[in-house]
Amino acid sequence: MRSLNDRKGQELIDGVLQIVDRLKPLHLSIVGGDPLVRYRELEEMIPLLLERRIHVQVVTSAFRPLAPRWATLGDLNVVVSIDGLQPEHDIRRAPTTYDRILKNIAGQNITIHCTITGQMMKRPGYQREFLEFWTPRPEIRKVWFSLFTPQVGDHLAEMLQPHERRQAIAGMLALRKEFAKLDMPEGMIRQFATPPQSPKDCVFARTTQTLSADLTTKIVPCQFGGNPDCNSCGCLASMGLAAVAAHKLGGIIPVGAIFKASVEIGEIRARRNASLPPPEEPLRVLR
């Protein structure tokens, strides 16, 4: 990644705006490293994106204070990533400790996101303790959990064993009834039990495009890059879209079937267009 040409300043702002004007996304997620490294550009860029009616999400460690006006921007979701409870987080993320985060998010309106790991699931009550710490705070609007997603062939302590995955899912299903700020619908949580088998089956991977900091390099097949182990996927967004796909219109046709058919038609058309000679320039006669 170091070899990528990481844009900054006006070049970065113009580059992002050009891409959204071309692709016209409904949602744009700006993730790290840490996007707040370019906080001046972000502060200028976010209102311009919102003007275009795009829902914007900034995912940060909150290592520096967030712009005060972000607290009032309706279509902006600032997500602060937390690596578990304070003792673990403070060791892994120093100097961005819990104390520093609390200072930097004061007066904001944010979502807390925690990726559940195998180590966390070995300590009973971890999810509850996490929610007990974060949910009473007025600056926290929502809390989200993901599960750790490995690459194929990984053997890491962060990976959840099958029984730990089941426990994590059961925990979320129970805790969402107790903690209203755990903003995860039941249908989405249940999808963690049957993640997509491959990027081809993943609605999220097929409907999103991830670009690196040079705004050119595509990260595939999804935001994890490389060869992610879909069977162990813990991506919250992927589960959310899988839940939508599983929904049956009129109780009969799954939305996913309509989506799949529509993507396939789009791909056939794209292939057909690519094989055609470029069209004659239109209205040449008027030159």
- Give the residues lining the site for ligand SF4 (CB under 6 A): 149, 195-196, 199, 202, 204-205, 221-222, 224, 228, 230, 233, 235, 238
- Secondary structure of residue 59 in the 3-state scheme: strand
Q: Measure the CA–CA gap between 115 and 274, rounded to whole angstroms.
A: 40
Q: Tell me whether residue 12 or residue 222 sits nearer to ligand SF4 (CB atom).
A: 222
Minimum distance from residue 172 beta carbon to ligand SF4 (Å): 17
Q: Tell me whether residue 112 or residue 222 sits nearer to ligand SF4 (CB atom).
A: 222
Minimum distance from residue 219 beta carbon to ligand SF4 (Å): 10
Tokens coding 231: 């069977």
Minimum distance from residue 148 beta carbon to ligand SF4 (Å): 11
Minimum distance from residue 195 beta carbon to ligand SF4 (Å): 5
Minimum distance from residue 221 beta carbon to ligand SF4 (Å): 5
What letter does residue 214 receive in the DSSP assignment? Answer: T
Q: Measure the CA–CA gap between 31 and 51, rounded to whole angstroms.
A: 20
Q: Tell me whether residue 104 or residue 146 sits nearer to ligand SF4 (CB atom).
A: 146
Q: Tell me whether residue 35 or residue 228 sits nearer to ligand SF4 (CB atom).
A: 228
What letter does residue 176 receive in the DSSP assignment? Answer: H
- Residues in a beta bridge with 100: none
User: For residue 152, what are the CA distances in angstroms to 60, 95, 202, 259, 267?
Assistant: 27, 32, 16, 27, 27
Query: If we measure between CA atoms, which residue out of 205, 270, 213, 281 comes closest to residue 241?
Result: 205
Q: Tell me whether residue 129 or residue 229 sits nearer to ligand SF4 (CB atom).
A: 229
By the 8 A CB rule, do 222 and 238 touch?
yes
Which residues make Cβ contacts (< 8 Å) with residue 216, sequence separation at least 6?
none
- Residues in a beta bridge with 115: 146
Angle of helix 126-134 versus helix 162-178 axis, rounded to 10: 40
Minimum distance from residue 32 beta carbon to ligand SF4 (Å): 18
Q: Tell me whether residue 70 or residue 228 sits nearer to ligand SF4 (CB atom).
A: 228
Q: Measure the CA–CA gap between 165 and 226, rounded to whole angstroms.
A: 23
Q: Tell me whether residue 209 or residue 273 sits nearer to ligand SF4 (CB atom).
A: 209
Minimum distance from residue 113 beta carbon to ligand SF4 (Å): 15
